[in-house]
Amino acid sequence: MSRHTLSVLVEDKPGVLTRFTGLIARRGFNIHSLAVGTTELEGLSRITVVVDVEDTPLEQVTKQLNKLINVIKIVELEPETSVRRAHMIFKVRADAAVRVQVQAVVEMFDARIVDVAVDAVSVEATGEQDKVDALHRVLEPFGIKEIVQSGTLAIGRGSKSMTDRAGR
Amino acid sequence: MAGPAPAQTPRATPTPSPVPAPGGAAVRGSRSQPEVMTGAQAIIRTLEQLGVDTVFGLPGGTILPTYDPLLDSEQINHVLVRHEQGAGHAATGYAAATGRVGVCMATSGPGATNLVTPIADAHMDSVPLLAITGQQSSKLLGTDAFQEADIVGMTMPVTKHSFLVTNAQDIPQVIRSAHHIASTGRPGPVLVDVTKDAQQAELEFRWDDELDLPGYRPVNRPHAKQIREAAVLMAEAERPVFYVGGGVIRSGAHKELLALAEATNIPVTTTLMARGAFPDSHPQHLGMPGMHGTVPAVAAIQKSDLLIAIGSRFDDRVTGELESFAPGARVIHADIDPAEIGKNRIADVPIVGDAAEVLDALLTELRTNHSAALAAERPSWWGLVNGWKQSFPLGFEKNDDGLCDPQYVIQRISALTGPEGVYAAGVGQHQMWAAQFVEYERPKAWLNSGGLGTMGYSVPAAMGAKVGEPDRQVWAIDGDGCFQMTNQELATCVINKIPIKVAIINNSSLGMVRQWQTLFYDGRYSHSDLNTGHESVRVPDFVKLAEAYGCEGIRVTRNEEVDEAVQRALDINDRPVVIDFVVPADAMVWPMVAAGVSNDHIQYARDIRPDFSGESEEGEEA
């Protein structure tokens, strides 16, 4: 299995995400991550989906996704020509004894503490998946109480835009 | 049952629907003075403006508002079915026979779920179908209200698209979009689920709004470069063969196919979905490929060096074991649906486009740049092909039980009815015999459930076809198993004066199941005996059943009686006719390629395998 990132421009209508993910599930592919939000164009949303799938079935499922009436455009974003970012928040055990150490790690990774309790802190990190995963490993020994993460966000490098010519 | 009545607003006087121009092209209701009407009235008005003349359906709670203005429509003939599945198959039978969009209507909950099978059927066979369902009021959505079912969610994988309408103002636009999507590109089923409150609320009816479908752009015109490359392959090929699918019929491309085939002198095979796309009587026609295809069609594809696939999808029932399918062939694959190309077999030249435009462009290109190739006679290839045609014609062995031979019955129905008739089959042995032994000379004469394989398709589909093509003789060639799934629509046929003919090929069993049990399960007939035929208790007695419905019922038990009964059926046109043809349970469909086996192992009859060795120009390994 190889990992692929698809960026998908869709109409912002109820049920679109269900149609999209339903088709992927029907083929038996697992969605590794998913991020959805509105775009600079009114009425259009953008789905960034990371799937584990071989090249040939990926081409097939992309064609099928393209057939969905609400899908405007699909592009695969290659690692070399795109920027990808992961976004995670960790709730880490941190009483007075270790809080300074946690704080030092957070600074080293360019992350931020976004909430503090008596015995825990919440750490927000963004960056390439590798960097966020590394932070995860370093925070682990302190005791992680909770993790939440968004799907990968990805955008093509350079001045071209996926929504060029996608306006109505 | 329903939610609270909508707030009272001054009601516009219901005006009788004006008769629209054919095709619904007329633009009425100018922007300055849009007409105010209810959502229900807008549904009917929109259907009228789209040129819809027939709706098959059955009313219930949540679709009741729409049935009220339907009563006043002078244009729309509503056919009240006895089961919603019948409405769905009638609409697809209507669509397959006429080429126009079939429309069916049902209430929410079980009414809608009963449509799921015909919707899935239409999806597999690319039939333009518009299904309109009532839905609980929008305030009750998701509350498990009475007769609530998430039909949009349920049908998502089996529709081309679907809409949930909760706002009356959206109705004209949505129904127009649904009709457009169903009938363009690769046709398919589109569901419109309308909440009861949207049907009851008022709107300003506007017809001239632009359709808003930014993500829907079917490609009809093929790419010139692909056409050039395909023409080069066709000019170079020594053993080419056309592999024609249902897309040619849906596209109406039979004339273009005939022109290209005759100009190139290339043999033609027509799949189960494409029977009639090329005349059976044409000397270039080899018949149907696939599991129960003819030996010449299967052999020609296996030995070909170029497969020209037009509107076909390399279905497993055609290819058999995919790895050994047409192993020496390069492939030109033309389809209007890009997702079909390369799905099962990699295409050397993929062409996205409408079949008629592709065939036409190929002929033009060949005439312009490969005129020498057009004159090619291919004597060695035709020598092989004609050898197979001579050695392995379609045939059957007569039974010695004194009963009717199913193949003979179907041959006689075809001969006495002629090529202008319409033949709708169920699924199983009788379907294969009807595909093999009816002579098809024109498209839209053969209706069947090819992809989904829906038992029970035949009677309602024939009913729909007869409504759409009232001047044609319409046969339902059915099995005793299939017939028992949907024969309630005989009541619809009698009451609405839809005089279809039903030929039950009654072998008293689930025949194809029995054939597989004979061949692959040591003759252990697990639950495939239906007790409807010869030397059985005859439950039900199909003749009595037909008579109970007010149909003419005839039983035929010997070959000698077949012609008279068929002729009598053809002469009766004031009520449906049901003929119970009693056939032996042991009759089998041949030729056959067992499931998942290479097409090279086709059996002409039981344990008789054609020997192709030494015939191929490449030579064949033993």
pLDDT cut 70: percent of chain A above it? 98
ipTM score for this prediction: 0.91
Q: What's the mean pLDDT in B368-384? A: 93
The shortest C-alpha distance from B115 to chain A (Å) reads: 20
DSSP states of B570-605 as a string?
HH--SS-EEEEEE--TT----SB--TTS-GGG-BSB
Nearest CA in chain A to B341: A60
Q: How far apart are CA B140 and CA B86, in angstroms?
A: 29
| Cβ-based contacts under 8 A for chains A and B | 42
Q: Is A28 on the interface with B (CB under 8 A)?
A: no
Which residue carries 């056939």 as its tokens?
B583
pTM: 0.93
Share the mean pLDDT of chain A.
93
Tell me the pLDDT band of B619, cut-offs 50, 70 and 90.
very low
Tell me the pLDDT band of B3, cut-offs 50, 70 and 90.
very low
Tens digit of each residue's pLDDT (9 = 90 or more) over B507-551: 999 999 999 999 999 999 999 999 999 999 999 999 999 999 999
- Asked if residue B468 has pLDDT above 80, the reply is yes
Burial A137-151 (b: 16+ CB within 10 A, else e): eebeebeeeeeebbb
Tell me the pLDDT band of B25, cut-offs 50, 70 and 90.
very low
Note whether B156 contacts A18, CB cutoff 8 Å. Answer: yes
Give the pLDDT of residue B32.
58
Give the pLDDT of residue B615.
60
Which residue carries 């490929």 as its tokens?
B289
Which residue carries 């694959």 as its tokens?
B333
Q: Is B160 on the interface with A (CB under 8 A)?
A: yes
Nearest CA in chain A to B165: A14
The shortest C-alpha distance from A30 to chain B (Å) reads: 18
Q: Is B142 on the interface with A (CB under 8 A)?
A: no
Tell me the pLDDT band of A7, cut-offs 50, 70 and 90.
very high
Tell me the pLDDT band of B33, cut-offs 50, 70 and 90.
confident
Q: How far apart are CA B190 and CA B151, in angstroms?
A: 12
Q: Which of B34, B21, B7 is nearest to B169 (CA)?
A: B34
A1-75, CATH topology level: Alpha-Beta Plaits (3.30.70)
Note whether B156 contacts A71, CB cutoff 8 Å. Answer: no
Higher pLDDT, B577 or A56: B577
Note whether B157 contacts A64, CB cutoff 8 Å. Answer: no
- Asked if residue B10 has pLDDT above 70, the reply is no
- Asked if residue A157 has pLDDT above 60, the reply is yes
Q: Which long-range contacts (CB under 8 A, 24 or more apart) does B255-258 make?
A: B255/B356, B256/B355, B256/B356, B256/B359, B256/B360, B256/B363, B257/B310, B257/B355, B257/B359, B258/B282
- Asked if residue B142 has pLDDT above 80, the reply is yes
Q: What's the mean pLDDT in B380-407? A: 96
- Asked if residue B253 has pLDDT above 60, the reply is yes
Q: Which of B435, B477, B33, B463 is nearest to B274 (CA)?
A: B435
Both structure tokens of B604: 């002409």
DSSP states of B49-99 as a string?
HTT--EEEEE--GGGHHHHHHHTT-SS-EEEE-SSHHHHHHHHHHHHHHHS
- Asked if residue B620 has pLDDT above 80, the reply is no
Q: Is A19 on the interface with B (CB under 8 A)?
A: yes
Put simply, the chain B residues between 210 and 269 with a CB less than 8 A from any chain A CB are 212-216
* Cβ contacts of A72 on chain B, cutoff 8 Å: 214-215
Asked if B159 and B142 touch (Cβ cutoff 8 Å), the reply is: no
Tell me the pLDDT band of B80, cut-offs 50, 70 and 90.
very high
Give the pLDDT of residue B11.
40
Asked if B197 and B6 touch (Cβ cutoff 8 Å), the reply is: yes
Give the pLDDT of residue A137.
97
Tell me the pLDDT band of A163, cut-offs 50, 70 and 90.
confident
Q: Is A68 on the interface with B (CB under 8 A)?
A: yes
Give the pLDDT of residue A2.
87
Q: To 10 degrees, the CA torsion angle through B360, B365, B368, B370?
A: -120
Pick among A8, A67, A72, A168 to test the B interface (most B CBs inside 10 A): A67
Give the pLDDT of residue B21.
42
B564 is an active site residue? no
Q: How far apart are CA B394 and CA B397, in angstroms?
A: 11
Nearest CA in chain B to A44: B214
Q: What's the mean pLDDT in B566-572? A: 98
Tens digit of each residue's pLDDT (9 = 90 or more) over B197-227: 999 999 999 998 889 999 999 999 999 999 9
Asked if B163 and B192 touch (Cβ cutoff 8 Å), the reply is: yes
CATH 3.40.50.300 fits B35-205, yes or no: no
CATH superfamily of B224-392: TPP-binding domain (3.40.50.1220)
**What angle in degrees, to the nearest 10, is found between the helix axes of B429-437 and B406-417?**
40
Q: How far apart are CA B62 and CA B482, in angstroms?
A: 31
Q: Which of B41, B56, B84, B396 is catalytic?
A: B84
Nearest CA in chain A to B212: A168
Give the pLDDT of residue B576.
98
- Asked if residue B16 has pLDDT above 80, the reply is no
The neighbouring-strand residues paired with B188 are none
DSSP B550: T
Asked if B93 and B101 touch (Cβ cutoff 8 Å), the reply is: no
Q: What's the mean pLDDT in B142-167? A: 97
Gap between the terminal Cα atoms of chain B: 71
Given this chain, do its domains A1-75 and A83-152 carry the same CATH topology? yes
- Asked if residue B193 has pLDDT above 60, the reply is yes
The neighbouring-strand residues paired with B475 are B423, B501
Q: How far apart are CA A7 and CA B63, in angstroms?
A: 40
Tell me the pLDDT band of B30, cut-offs 50, 70 and 90.
very low
Q: Is A118 on the interface with B (CB under 8 A)?
A: no
pLDDT cut 70: percent of chain B above it? 93
Peptide bond between residue B540 and the one before it cis (omega within 30 degrees of 0): yes
B517 is an active site residue? no
**3-class secondary structure per residue, B246-271:** CHHHHHCCHHHHHHHHHHHCCCEEEC
Q: How far apart are CA A28 and CA A31, in angstroms?
A: 10
- Asked if residue B70 has pLDDT above 70, the reply is yes
pLDDT cut 90: percent of chain B above it? 90
Pick among A9, A19, A54, A69 to test the B interface (most B CBs inside 10 A): A69
- Asked if residue B8 has pLDDT above 70, the reply is no
* Cβ contacts of B216 on chain A, cutoff 8 Å: 69
B407 is an active site residue? no
Architecture of domain A83-152: 2-Layer Sandwich (3.30)
- Asked if residue B399 has pLDDT above 70, the reply is yes
Share the mean pLDDT of chain B.
93
Q: How far is CA B92 from CA A24, B76, B470, B484, in A?
A: 28, 17, 16, 20
DSSP B392: S
Rg value, chain B, Cα: 25
Tell me the pLDDT band of A167, cut-offs 50, 70 and 90.
low
Rg value, chain A, Cα: 19
Nearest CA in chain B to A73: B215
**What angle in degrees, to the nearest 10, is found between the helix axes of B84-98 and B116-124?**
30
Tell me the pLDDT band of B557, cut-offs 50, 70 and 90.
very high
Tell me the pLDDT band of A166, cut-offs 50, 70 and 90.
low
* Cβ contacts of A66 on chain B, cutoff 8 Å: 338-339
The neighbouring-strand residues paired with B525 are none
Architecture of domain B406-582: 3-Layer(aba) Sandwich (3.40)
* Cβ contacts of B343 on chain A, cutoff 8 Å: 60
Tens digit of each residue's pLDDT (9 = 90 or more) over B324-349: 999 999 999 999 999 999 999 999 99
Q: Which of B234, B455, B485, B512 is catalytic?
A: B512
Give the pLDDT of residue B617.
45
pLDDT cut 90: percent of chain A above it? 88
The helix or strand, by DSSP H or E, that contains position A144, with its residue range, turns out to be strand A144-149
Q: Is B164 on the interface with A (CB under 8 A)?
A: yes
Nearest CA in chain B to A22: B157
Q: Is B418 on the interface with A (CB under 8 A)?
A: no
**3-class secondary structure per residue, B429-458:** HHHHHHHHHCCCCCCCCEECCCCCCCCCCH
- Asked if residue A28 has pLDDT above 90, the reply is no
Which residue carries 């390629």 as its tokens?
B593
Note whether A19 contacts B156, CB cutoff 8 Å. Answer: yes
Note whether B156 contacts A60, CB cutoff 8 Å. Answer: no
Domain boundaries, chain A: 1-75, 83-152
Tell me the pLDDT band of A57, cut-offs 50, 70 and 90.
confident
Q: What's the mean pLDDT in B151-178? A: 97
